[in-house]
Structure 1
Amino acid sequence: MASQMLDEILSIPAVVERQNAEVGRIYREIGRRLRAADPRAAISNARGSSDHAATYLKYLLEITIGLPLASVGPSVASIYGGNLRLAGQLCITISQSGASTDLVMLQQAAARDGALTLALVNEVESPVARQAKLLAPLHAGPERAVAATKTFVASLVAAATIIAAWSEDDALLSAIEALPNPLQAAVTLDWSPALAAVSAASSIFTVSRGPGLAVAAEAALKFKESCRLHAEPFSAAELRHGPIALPGPDFAALLFVPRDQGRASMAEAEAALRGTGAAVFRCDVEGGDLPVVAAPHPLLDPICQIASFYRFVEEVARERGLDPDRPPNLSKVTVTQ
């Protein structure tokens, strides 16, 4: 019997097609409004998978528009009652449920301190959604599996569309419209050559650069919550700053290789990891150990990569005798303060 998680992974292409058709215009209008508002800087407000989506947004915002985005800990507002000087800035909250107390409180504090607030949220009747000045509904439909999959992809698509409209990048907008077909191919790819080594690994590194770092972080989280495997995400640039001392023959590593200026450093990281004896799997549209679908635009490659990874991680969970729909000690909506 298929898991709920697998059903939701296989629905990703349809989710993105529905997003483009039904709420893409909202994302584009938000992009135009942000271009007119011209904020001086931005902060993100998110936890878990949504925080990884914020990493993707950060790189797109900084690469294409030149606007710096900093991740602010929600506890600055919810626990410490801090006041942030945010006049003329943008606060972006990303959340599946929009219900966590700490996210609500930071968004409220940001608005009070002068920021324009934008929320990317699946539950449009949630406190975060209702209180945001600008709302980008993820429109992914109910997500019942504990592990977020389709809502994470929907967050990336919403972020990319907003940035494409903000930067007036027609090529990126067209590529987003064409994304459902590559995603349909991505969720069917076979990563079984990595199944045995990854399922038996004592620990896993997930590695990328730039926008792909969001996928590395999301992959590491999914190994932990769905497979009970310890995993850590790293930028390829960080491996030499200490972490490369850890891997050995009992390790595995997944490298999510971008089609941009980060490729060279990924090759260096791959060589270093293979030198440790770890089982290394390169995920690269230009040829690697595991197949990857090329997105219609290089900035969208992480979306296709994570879709293929999700299919794989669900298989790893079952290989390890686990129920991917019922990870221990977790619930679908996490409320923190």
Structure 2
Amino acid sequence: MAPSTTLMRREIVEIPDAVERLLTQGGDAIREAAAGAREMDPNFLLSVARGSSDHACTYLKYASELILRRPMASVGPSVKSVYDVDLIADGALCLSVSQSGMSPDIVRMTKAITASNGLTVAITNDPASDLASVSSATLPIHAGPELSVAATKTFVTSLVAGLWLIAEIKRDGELIRAIHALPSHLAAATTCDWSEAAAALDGRSLFTLGRGPSWAIANEAALKFKETCLIHAESYSSAEVLHGPVSIVEQGFPVIGFTAGDAAESNLAEVADALADKGATVFATTAKLTKAVTLPHIRTDHWLTDPIAAIVSFYGMVEEVARNRGINPDTPRHLRKVTETV
């Protein structure tokens, strides 16, 4: 039986304070790393991560490409750890994201990129970790202890740290101000009531949708459904779901769409309505809907920070779904807090 108050719930509520702590204590490290990146002036970025951290990197990929106009690619850690191939990464800026900083494959790939004259930046909750020791620079995320197996506040603070780095590299004052205004918006996001969407889940399968930076949030949401609720969920871009995946949609099939106040919002809304027209039960974080249901959501001071508020609201809902299913989301079956992949 799931406890009435879970560690996951407590850590979700702590997210605004964790972000405030990062904003208060993390600035020097981020500005120093940004100065190094500007001096390098990389032609491209790389990322090294797994799981929720890799979803954070997908979000940062879009931030890099939209703000810095530099392409960013995810590197398979097994290229080094299994196949023992050293990438030619001279001149690349690499973001290695791991809340523990302990996974050997992440550490080995990061070390190899550093040795190849890449500028490696560790985004981690442990500045004394192995990952930090092999990186050119370390950005502690200042999340504090995270005891639930399901990552929530470390995911959000990783998003914020990486986005802040990109904003500082660009010297984008508007985005930097929006990042510093996040704690109050995230506090409001913790109160959004998604119980209508929770009630529509039938426990079998669902889609999560997004596009652009919000697709990374959809990826994270799908993972959380699997690991905390034992519900099968698949994440798709709203540009792709009406191709092959739509074939499995039937009456009442649940869909949750994530979008920000950005250029992709209208597309997501159109796809959400199209799926609702096919019989799916569709919810989305936009008011631009005619047939799907608008989820309560918080718009922040910048379209790139909107997805961060959306995942906070989602976390509150998915924790509730797990408890209602009699599952303790703090200790998902078969999982541990730190997975050390070779």
Q: How far apart are the structure 1 equivalents of 2:27 and 2:207? A: 35
Q: Check the 8 A contact 1:50/1:152 in 2, yes or no.
A: yes
Report how far residue 276 of structure 1 moved. Answer: 2.7
Is 2:243 the partner of 1:237? no
Give the stretch that moved more between structures: 19-28 or 323-332. Answer: 19-28
Residue 294 of structure 2 aligns to a residue whose secondary structure is coil
Q: Rate the CA distance shift 1:314–1:119 in 2: closer, same or farther, 3 A.
A: same
1:127 to 130, 141, 160: 130
Give the stretch that moved more between structures: 244-253 or 12-21. Answer: 244-253
Residue 209 of structure 2 aligns to a residue whose secondary structure is strand
Give the stretch that moved more between structures: 130-139 or 30-39. Answer: 30-39
Name the structure 2 match of 1:226. 228
Report how far residue 285 of structure 1 moved. Answer: 6.2
Residue 233 of structure 1 aligns to a residue whose secondary structure is strand
Q: How far apart are the structure 1 equivalents of 2:252 and 2:113? A: 45
Q: 1:74-131: CA deviations, max 9, x gaps?
A: 0000001112111111221000000001101111111222311111011111100111
Report how far residue 250 of structure 1 moved. Answer: 4.7
Give the stretch that moved more between structures: 236-245 or 263-272. Answer: 263-272
Is 2:293 the partner of 1:291? no
Residue 251 of structure 2 aligns to a residue whose secondary structure is coil
Q: How far apart are the structure 1 equivalents of 2:277 and 2:33? A: 47
How does 1:130-279 map onto structure 2 within 5 Å?
130-198=133-201, 200-279=202-281
Residue 118 of structure 1 aligns to a residue whose secondary structure is strand
Is 2:121 the partner of 1:115? no
- Identity %, equivalent residues: 47
Q: How far apart are the structure 1 equivalents of 2:287 and 2:166? A: 24
2:334 to 311, 316, 329: 329
Name the structure 1 match of 2:42. 39
Residue 241 of structure 1 aligns to a residue whose secondary structure is coil
Q: Which amino acid aligns with 1:277?
A: G
Name the structure 2 match of 1:29. 32
Q: How far apart are the structure 2 equivalents of 1:134 and 1:238? A: 37
Q: Check the 8 A contact 2:259/2:307 in 1, yes or no.
A: no
Q: Which amino acid aligns with 1:187?
A: T
Q: Check the 8 A contact 1:202/1:251 in 2, yes or no.
A: no
Q: 1:292-335: CA deviations, max 9, x gaps?
A: 01112111001100000000000010111111111100000011
Q: 1:210-230: CA deviations, max 9, x gaps?
A: 111111000000000000000
Give the stretch that moved more between structures: 94-103 or 236-245. Answer: 236-245
Report how far residue 261 of structure 1 moved. Answer: 1.3
Report how far residue 25 of structure 1 moved. Answer: 3.0
TM-score between both structures, scaled by the size of structure 2: 0.95
Structure 2, unmatched stretches of 5+, are none
Q: Check the 8 A contact 1:120/1:155 in 2, yes or no.
A: yes
Q: How far apart are the structure 1 equivalents of 2:155 and 2:276? A: 30
- C-alpha RMSD over aligned residues: 1.3
Q: Which amino acid aligns with 2:240?
A: E
Q: How far apart are the structure 2 equivalents of 1:69 and 1:189? A: 33
Q: How far apart are the structure 2 equivalents of 1:272 and 1:221? A: 24
Q: How far apart are the structure 2 equivalents of 1:123 and 1:162? A: 18
Q: Which amino acid aligns with 1:212?
A: S
Q: Check the 8 A contact 2:266/2:288 in 1, yes or no.
A: no
Report how far residue 286 of structure 1 moved. Answer: 6.4
Q: Which amino acid aligns with 2:337?
A: K
Report how far residue 249 of structure 1 moved. Answer: 2.2
Q: Check the 8 A contact 2:287/2:294 in 1, yes or no.
A: no
Q: Check the 8 A contact 1:5/1:145 in 2, yes or no.
A: yes
Q: Check the 8 A contact 1:285/1:293 in 2, yes or no.
A: no
Report how far residue 28 of structure 1 moved. Answer: 2.5
Name the structure 2 match of 1:105. 108
Q: Check the 8 A contact 1:207/1:216 in 2, yes or no.
A: yes
Q: How far apart are the structure 1 equivalents of 2:261 and 2:68? A: 20
Q: Check the 8 A contact 1:201/1:251 in 2, yes or no.
A: no
Report how far residue 241 of structure 1 moved. Answer: 2.8
1:57 to 57, 60, 67: 60
Q: How far apart are the structure 1 equivalents of 2:268 and 2:221? A: 17
Q: Check the 8 A contact 2:107/2:131 in 1, yes or no.
A: yes
TM-score between both structures, scaled by the size of structure 1: 0.97
